[in-house]
Amino acid sequence: MASAAAIGRLFPTNLVMLCHSVPLRSMSTWRSYSLRKIRHFGDSSSTGYLYFSTSPAPPPDLQRLMKQQQENLQKQRREKIRSTVNYVIAAGLAALGLSFAAVPLYRVFCQTFSYGGTVVDDIKGKSVAGMKPVNNRLIRISFRADTAGGIRWKFQPQQSEVH
């Protein structure tokens, strides 16, 4: 293991190194050896980098740079949070709007496609007047007599099919 004096000779005293691969836990182990002059400063939780120097305090330019970097990271975090909140609010408002629009939209759907017990009205027989007869095909009409399970009525068609 290298001593603090050896590290001081390898790197100038006011040189600042960025170490991405050194976690904070290993700094505490390094301090237990004879590397007590290495001083940790800066916020490593936001960037994943450790800033350390053998000088007693970082240079003023570096302090200003680190402060700007920290402020930029905080601004980015605030923007991400604000963006997420905006998306959540928009999704909630969309869900609320769709819940109010669901009943009228369902009625329009049912009236358009004759679904759910609604009947399409043919005003003055316009759709029948536009139909053309097909004489070369056989048409089969089936009759069913279904009732709800709770009703005790029994119906049966007189004929099951007509051709």
Residue 143, domain member (yes or no): no
| Residues spanned by the domain of 105 | 59-119
pLDDT, residue 154, reads 82
> How many domains does one find in the chain?
2
> Same domain, yes or no, for 45 and 70?
no
> How far apart are the C-alpha atoms of 20 and 106, rounded to whole Å?
58
Q: Which of 45, 52, 70, 67 is nearest to 8 (CA)?
A: 52
Q: Kindly state whether residue 135 falls inside one of the protein's structural domains.
A: no
Look up residue 119 and give its amino acid.
Answer: V
User: Is 90 exceeded by the pLDDT of residue 80?
Assistant: yes
Does the model's pTM come out above 0.85?
Answer: no
In this prediction, residue 92 carries a pLDDT of: 97
pLDDT in the model for residue 39? 44
Q: Tell me the per-residue pLDDT of 120-150, one tens digit each, with 9 for 90 and over.
A: 676 666 777 778 888 888 888 888 888 877 8
Q: Is residue 52 located within the same domain as residue 75?
A: no
First to last CA, the chain: 100
- pLDDT tens-digit profile of 9-46? 554 444 444 444 444 444 444 444 444 444 444 444 55
Q: What does the alpha-carbon distance between residue 91 and residue 85 come to, in Å, rounded to a whole number?
A: 10
* The pLDDT value given to residue 77: 96
Percentage above 70 pLDDT, the chain? 60
